[in-house]
Amino acid sequence: MSCHRIGLGMNSVVEKSIEMFENEEISLNACKKIIVACRNGVYWCDGNEDEAIACIIDCYCGNCLRKIHQEHRIRVDRNRYDVVTHYLCEDCYQHLVYEESILKSTYMLKKRHNKKVRFSDFLF
Ligand SMILES: [Zn+2]
């Protein structure tokens, strides 16, 4: 049987760290590190990662930690993009997902044509 208490406890830490981030007491990176630590913290017991981030899971961008409206959020694979929630705001989506896919297709195209890929190809 899984443990909900560890998730609730970790979630209270996530809530505090988001509050501190919003009050500019801690940096974005510090806040994200705490969130990831809380997500991993549930494994000290048989907990659930989503419960640990319940207070931010569907209303915060997993990259910039800005509050996002439901209609402006875009669901992504959290493990693939190294973000702390399942969602991105439109700006972060553009930056992390869309631009990355352009980089990849440029790279694959050049590779397919056996062209040398230069670093400058990746600059916009
Ligand atoms: Zn964002």
Q: Ligand 1 centre and the CA of 61: distance in Å?
A: 5
Q: Determine the 3-state secondary structure of 67 from DSSP.
A: strand
Q: Ligand 1 centre and the CA of 64: distance in Å?
A: 4
Query: Does pLDDT of 92 surpass 90?
Result: yes
Query: Does pLDDT of 123 surpass 60?
Result: no
Write out pLDDT tens, residues 106-119: 777 777 776 666 65
pTM score above 0.85: no
Name the strand (E) or helix (H) holding 87.
strand 87-88
Least confident residue range of 46-50, 66-70, 97-101: 97-101
Query: Does pLDDT of 98 surpass 60?
Result: yes
Neighbours of ion ligand 1 (CB under 5 A): 61, 63-64, 89, 92
Q: CA 124: distance to chain centroid?
A: 24
